[in-house]
Structure 1
Amino acid sequence: MKRFSLYLFIFVCTSSFIISCKSDSYPPDNKVQDGTLHIRKKTDAQKLHPFVYPSPKARDIYQYIFPQLADFDPVTLKLIPVLIKAIPEEIKITEGPNSGSIKFTIEYLPEAKWDDGKDVTAQDYIFSVKTVKNLKVKAGGYRSHLQFISDIIVDPNNPKKFDVIFAKDYLLAKETALTIETYPAHIYDPKGLTTNLSLSDAGDENKLNEIIAKDSTLMQWADDMNGIKYGRDVVNSCGPYQLSEWVTDEYIILDRKENYWAKGSKNPFLIAGPKRIIFDILPDETTAITQLSEGNMDLVQEVSGAVFSNLQKEENSYQFLTPQLTKYYLIAMNNDSPELSDKTVRKALGHLLDVNNVMKSIDFGNGTRTIGPIHPGKNYYNSKLSPITYDVNKAKSMLTEAGWKDSNSDGTIDKMIGGNQTELELDMYVSEGKLGQQIALLMKEATASAGIKMNIIQKPFKQIESEHLKKKDFDMAPMMIRQDLVLDDPYTRWHSDHTKLGGRNIYGFENEEIDKITKEIQISEDPVTRNKLYTRVQEILYEEQPVIFLYAPSERMVGSDKWNMTSTVRRPGYMANTFTLK
C-alpha cells in the first residue's frame, strides 16, 4: 500500500542538544554594551542574498545591507525615495519602437556610493535586473515580478539616470521598478561576464544555452550567484550596515558603516542608530527570554501567546510590541496527490481543524480568521465569505460523498484509486513549534473520528523544506505567508505557470479561470474593476479549497527598557536601525 506523506512545517525549532553545543564565546558581547543591539532570531538566515534567497528569516537581516530604491515609510506606509531623488510618475510611450509601453524615469542620488567609493549608477541597476532575469540564477520567486520589464535605457548625459520600460501597463509596475535591491556590478561580476548579455537573452533559455556553450564562464558565474560565494562570502551593497561576522546557527553581526555616504540621513531606511546589531540564533524560547531577563538580549520576536501574556502580568520594565503584520497562516495541500486532487476531500479536511481553538490556544485569540490569500485588513478582502467551520459530521458526509468508506472494516476509510485500494492514511511531519504541534494533535483526533489514520512525526525544518516543500514531495504543510504592503498580485502563487518545481505554486493548483483573472489583475488600471477581480479570485479559491486558510495573527515582541523602540505594520514589525539608547 502506498502511503502519502503529510508534511507539516511551522517555524523551525531545533533540539535542546543543539542549544547546548553553542561555542564558549556565545553569545558575542555577552553583556549588552553601549551601542550594541541584540535581537533574537529563531533560525539562521542560510544566505544574505535578496534575489536568490528572499526568505523572511534572511530579509529581516539583509534589509539593513541592501536598501531598495524606494520603500514604504514605516509610519505613513507611503512609498518614499531611498536611493533615488524622487518617486517617478508613469509615462505612456506613444511612438517609437516602444510604442504602447510605459516607462519610469529614475535617478539615483548624486551622493549614493558603494563602500569602495564608486558611484551607484544605472549600470548597477541593469546588472541587478539582468541577474534576476537570468534563467541560470535561482531567482524564480523574484523573477516573475520583473517579467514585464523589457528594456532599461541609460541617459547618455547622466550615468545615474535611466528609463525603465515595461512592455505593458502592469498593476505593480512602479513598485516593481523601485522596490528592488541594487547590487554593485563591479563586485558581483568583477570580470564583466554579464556585461554584453541582453535582458531578453538572459530570459531566453535557448539563447542563454547557446551563449554558455560558447563561454562556460557565464555558467560558473551563475553557480557562484546561487551558492555560498555570493550568498555569504560576498555580501555587499549601499545600506547603512555591513556584515562583519557570521557563525552558523549561533549569530550574525552587522556593524554600522562609519564612513557611510548617507551618514546623518533622516531617511528611515538609511539611518544607522545602533553601532552594532547582533542577531542571536536561539530556537528555544525559554533560553531567549532568560537572556532577555539577564540583560543579554534586547528584542525577542515571535513570542508565544502564553509566554507573552505571563510576562505582561509580571512586574518588569519590558516593552510589549504587537503590530498587526500582513501575514497569515495556511495549511498547504498538494493538489497533485491522488487523495487530495478531489476538492471535496480538501474541503472535508478543512472542516476537521478547529481553527478558533488553535487561535485561542496559541495566540490567545489575537488574530483574525481568513477565507483566502487576501489579508483581512485590505479593503478588497471578501468579507461576504465565512471562514470554514469545524464540523466533523459534515466532514464525514463529504468524504462519503467522495467515495471514501471503510470497505475492509479496519477502521480506516479507503477508496479505489488507479485500480488500487488506497486507505486514507497520512503522515504529519512537524517541527517542535507549538503551532505545528497544536494543529497536529487536533487534526489527529478529528481525522481519527472521520476514519482517517494520521501519524505525527517530528522532523527538522530544513530537511522538510529542502527535500519536500521545494520538490512538492508532500501532501499537506502548514505555512506562514508574509505579504507586502502593495496591491496583491495573485499570479505568482496561484497561476498554473508557477506549478513547476521551484515555483511558488507549490500546491499544484490549476484552474483556467484563475489563470485568466490573475493576468487581468496585473494589467487592470481601474480600482473598481480590479477589486471585482480580487473578489472573484477569493470566491474560486474558497470553492476549490486548494489549501486550508487559517488566520492572520498579530506579532508579539518583547523588548528591553534600554532602547527607544517602536513597532510598524511594515514587516518584520520593527526597524532596528532606528532604535536609540535611552
Structure 2
Amino acid sequence: MSSLQNKIISFWRKLRNARLFSNWLKSDSFSQESADRKLIYALSPRKIPNGEQIKHLNKFLNPREFLLIKICILIVLVNGVYLGTVFLKKHLQYLPVIGGEYIEGVVGSPKTINPLYAVNRDIDSDLSRLIYSSLFKYDIHGRLSHDLVETMEIGGENKEYIIKIKEGVSWHTGGNLTAEDIVFTVNLIKSAEYNSPLRSAFTNITVEKIDDLTLKFVLAEPYAPFPDLLTFGILPANLWKNIAPNAAVLADLNLKPVGSGPYKFKSLVKSKTGDLKEYRLEANADYYGGQAYLKNITFIFFVDYIEAIKAFNDNQIMGLNYLPFTLRQEILAQNSVKFRELAQPQIISLFFNSVKNKTLADKDVRVALATALDKNQIIQEVFAGIHSPADGPILKESFAYNEEIKKYDYAPATAAETIKTKPVTAILTVIDSGNNVAVAEKVKDYWTKAGGQISLNIVSGDQAAEIVKNRNFEILLYGEFIGGDPDVFVFWHSSQAGERGFNLTGYNNPEADKLLAEARVSTDQAERISRYKKFQEIVVADLPAIFLYSPSYTYVQSNKLKGFSGTAIVDPGDRFSGVGGWYLKTKKKLTW
C-alpha cells in the first residue's frame, strides 16, 4: 500500500514540474516576442509603412482585403483632386497685368491723324481716338460720357455751356492740357483757312477761356445734342500755333502726333515707295484715366480685305478693324476667333416716293407692303441673323426709343387681299453695295408673292448721290446714319424735304415737325424722351417708309485678347472705348 502511495505522489510531482516548465517557456516566449518588436521599432524611423514595405502588403493580406485598400486609396485621391479643383475655381484668379502687344490689321493707311481732319477717314479717326483726349466721348455702349469734362452747367436760355475740365491732364511730351488748348482747337475748326470738315457745325458757336480749367461755349440757338459735337480730339496749342494754315495738312505732327490720350506715338514703318506699312503706339503711363494693360498696339496696313484676312488666318495679326459680312466665311479656325457684333447708328429702310408713284400715296398700300415682309426671315437668310430688325426711325439702343410703337407683323394673307383690290406696280431702286441687292431681291420676292408687280433698278455707288439728291426713285432701299443722339430732325422734318435735305420721302406732318423742333432745343432729357416717343408713334402710324433693320459692325479679334466689353459704337473708332481694360498678360492670385 505504501509502495502504491509513493508512486502516486511521485507522478503528481512530475506533472506539477512539467506544468511549471511549460509556463516558464511561455513566459520566456512572450518576453522574446516583445523584445523583438521593440527592437524593430527602435530601428525603424517611421511607424507608417514606406513604399518598399507596401509592396509586400499583399503577402500579409488576402486578395479581398488588398482590393478594398486599393479602392479606398483611389477614393481618397479622386476626392482630393475634386476638392482641390473646386477650391482653385473659387479662389484662384487670373488678374490682368501690364504687358503684351496687340496687332491689328487695317485696310487702308492713315494720312492726317489730326482731329481737324480725321473724320474723313476711318483709320485716321481710329488712331485719333487712341492718341487724343476729347471733352466728351462715347462709352462701350455707345452712350455719350465725360472724357476731359469734370462738370458742365447749362444756362443762358440753354445757349451757354460752362465746362470745367479735369486737373492734371498731361500731354505726351509733358506739360498740362488747359482750357487754352481747347479754345485754340475750336478756333482752328472754325477757321475757313484750315478747311476742317467740322467747321459747319461750329459756325455760329463762340468759345472763350474763363480760367485754366474752365471755358464757356455760347450757341446762337439752343441745341440739345451740342455735347455730341464735342467729341473731337484736343490739339496742343504750343506745338500747332506756329504752323501756318496752308502747311497744316502737310505738318509732321499729322503722322507723329502729340496728344493726351491713353496711347502715344512710338514709331512707324514705311515701304520703299513711302507708303505706311506699320504704325506703333505705346501705352501712356501718365494717362489720367490710368495706364492701359496693353503695353503696345501696332497697326499693320493692307491694300484690301482679302490680304488682311490672309494675314489674320496666318496669325500675323490678332484683329481686323472690320469684316464685311460677305467675307465672313473666309475666316478660318472660327472657334478661336471672337466676332464682335457692335450695334451702330444706322437704319436700313425702304423709302416711299409718292410723287414718282401715286399708288404709294395710299396708306393702305404702304401697310400692305409692310405686312407682306417677314423682316426676321430676310435678316436670317441674308445675314445669318446677326443684324437687328428695326421698327421705327430711332435706334433701339437710344434712350428715347419707344418700345410700344406699332409693329407691322408679317401677315401675307391680309397683305395679298389689299394688293388684290389695290394693285401695286413699282420700281425698287437699290445701290449695288454689300448685301443690298440680296436684300432687295428678298423684298421683291415677298411683294411678288403678295400680288405686286415689282422690278429692280440696281445702280452703282457713283449714281447713288444723284439719285438721292433728285429723289429719282419710287421705292429706295437705303441706309441712314442717325448718330449718337436721337435728334432725327434732318431726316424727318418737313423743312428738310427737297434736294438740299435728307427727308427722302418728303414727309410732312405738322405735329411731328413740332415735336422734332421742341425735342432738339430742350435740355431736359425726360422732356426729350416724351416728345421723341410721341414722334415715333406718329411716323410709324403714317408709314412714309418701312424700317427694315439696323446692321451691326463686325470687329474680329483673336480669343487671346481678353477684356473686350463693347456692345455699340457711333464711329468705328469707338471700338477702342474700353481699350484700357484689354489685356494679354495675366498673373495668378489666390483669394480667401
Q: TM-score range by the shorter chain?
A: 0.5 to 0.7
Once the two structures are superposed, residues 203-233 of structure 1 have per-residue CA deviations (whole angstroms, 9 ceiling, x without a partner) of xxxxxxxxxxxxxxxxxx6xx99xx769997
Report what 1:520 is aligned to.
518
Please give the residue correspondences for 1:86-485 in structure 2 after superposition, counting only pairs within 5 Å: 86-93=149-156, 101-107=159-165, 109-113=167-171, 120-130=177-187, 143-144=200-201, 150-155=205-210, 158-159=211-212, 161-166=214-219, 170-173=223-226, 175-176=227-228, 178-183=230-235, 236=257, 238=259, 239=261, 240-242=263-265, 244=268, 253-256=278-281, 262-265=284-287, 267=289, 273-280=295-302, 282-284=304-306, 288-300=308-320, 303=323, 318-322=336-340, 324-331=342-349, 333=351, 335=353, 338-339=356-357, 342=361, 344=363, 347=367, 349-351=369-371, 353-378=373-398, 380-391=400-411, 413=425, 424-431=426-433, 433=434, 435-449=435-449, 450-455=451-456, 457=458, 459=460, 461=461, 463-464=462-463, 468-469=467-468, 476-479=476-479, 481=481, 483-484=483-484
Task: Output the amino acid matched with 2:215.
Answer: F
Once the two structures are superposed, residues 531-565 of structure 1 have per-residue CA deviations (whole angstroms, 9 ceiling, x without a partner) of 22111111122133343312345554442244335
Q: In 1, are the aligned partners of 2:393 and 2:536 still within 8 Å (CA)?
A: yes
Residue 73 (structure 1) shift: 4.2
Distance 1:561 1:270, change over 3 A: closer
Distance 2:362 2:243 in 1: 52
Residue 356 (structure 1) shift: 1.3
Distance 1:92 1:388 in 2: 43
Distance 2:507 2:382 in 1: 29
Task: Output the amino acid matched with 2:319.
Answer: L
Once the two structures are superposed, residues 181-223 of structure 1 have per-residue CA deviations (whole angstroms, 9 ceiling, x without a partner) of 3345677775777xxxxxxxxxxxxxxxxxxxxxxxxxxx6xx
Q: In 2, are the aligned partners of 1:183 and 1:236 still within 8 Å (CA)?
A: no
Distance 2:427 2:362 in 1: 18
Q: In 2, are the aligned partners of 1:491 and 1:519 still within 8 Å (CA)?
A: yes
Task: Output the amino acid matched with 1:429.
Answer: I
Report what 2:47 is aligned to.
none
Q: Which runs of 5+ in 1 are unaligned?
A: 1-33, 94-98, 194-220, 406-412, 414-423
Distance 1:549 1:347 in 2: 12
Provide the secondary structure at the position in 2 that maps to 1:541: helix
Correspondence for 1:68 among 98, 116, 134? 134
Task: Output the amino acid matched with 1:443.
Answer: V
Correspondence for 2:558 among 557, 560, 582? 560
Distance 1:237 1:348, change over 3 A: farther
Q: Which runs of 5+ in 2 are unaligned?
A: 1-99, 586-592
Q: In 2, are the aligned partners of 1:328 and 1:550 still within 8 Å (CA)?
A: no
Report what 1:20 is aligned to.
none
Report what 2:26 is aligned to.
none
Out of 447-456 and 128-137, give the one that drifted further: 128-137
Q: In 2, are the aligned partners of 1:114 and 1:184 still within 8 Å (CA)?
A: no
Q: In 1, are the aligned partners of 2:137 and 2:231 still within 8 Å (CA)?
A: yes
Residue 427 (structure 1) shift: 4.3
Report what 2:73 is aligned to.
none
Distance 1:480 1:271, change over 3 A: farther
Distance 1:342 1:530, change over 3 A: same
Instruction: Name the larger-Rg structure.
Output: 2
Provide the secondary structure at the position in 2 that maps to 1:63: helix
Residue 176 (structure 1) shift: 3.9
Provide the secondary structure at the position in 1 that maps to 2:445: helix
Distance 1:48 1:471 in 2: 35
Report what 1:550 is aligned to.
548
Distance 1:359 1:56, change over 3 A: farther
Provide the secondary structure at the position in 2 that maps to 1:517: helix
Distance 1:315 1:372, change over 3 A: same
Distance 1:504 1:292, change over 3 A: same
Distance 2:344 2:516 in 1: 20
Distance 2:552 2:335 in 1: 22
Residue 568 (structure 1) shift: 0.8
Distance 1:510 1:577 in 2: 44
Distance 2:178 2:468 in 1: 38
Once the two structures are superposed, residues 4-46 of structure 1 have per-residue CA deviations (whole angstroms, 9 ceiling, x without a partner) of xxxxxxxxxxxxxxxxxxxxxxxxxxxxxx73512355x7789
Report what 2:575 is aligned to.
574
Out of 358-367 and 449-458, give the one that drifted further: 449-458
Provide the secondary structure at the position in 2 that maps to 1:292: helix
Distance 2:206 2:301 in 1: 39
Distance 1:268 1:468 in 2: 49
Report what 2:37 is aligned to.
none
State TM-score, norm by structure 2.
0.63
**Structure with more relative contact order (C-alpha pairs < 8 Å, separation 6 or more):** 1
CA RMSD of aligned residues (A): 4.8
Q: Percent identity?
A: 18
Distance 2:479 2:539 in 1: 17
Task: Output the amino acid matched with 2:316.
Answer: N
Residue 165 (structure 1) shift: 3.0
Q: In 1, are the aligned partners of 2:224 and 2:523 still within 8 Å (CA)?
A: yes
Residue 388 (structure 1) shift: 2.9
- Note if 1:537 corresponds to 2:527: no
Distance 1:316 1:541, change over 3 A: closer
Task: Output the amino acid matched with 2:153.
Answer: E
Task: Output the amino acid matched with 1:330.
Answer: I
Distance 2:369 2:568 in 1: 33
Return the structure number with greater helix share.
2
Distance 1:483 1:289, change over 3 A: same
Q: In 2, are the aligned partners of 1:90 and 1:103 still within 8 Å (CA)?
A: yes
> What is the number of residues matched between the two proteins?
471
Provide the secondary structure at the position in 2 that maps to 1:89: strand
Distance 1:39 1:511, change over 3 A: farther
Once the two structures are superposed, residues 86-127 of structure 1 have per-residue CA deviations (whole angstroms, 9 ceiling, x without a partner) of 52131535xxxxx77533133465554376x78655454335
Distance 1:79 1:429, change over 3 A: closer
Task: Output the amino acid matched with 2:361.
Answer: D
Task: Output the amino acid matched with 1:524.
Answer: S
- Note if 1:38 corresponds to 2:104: yes
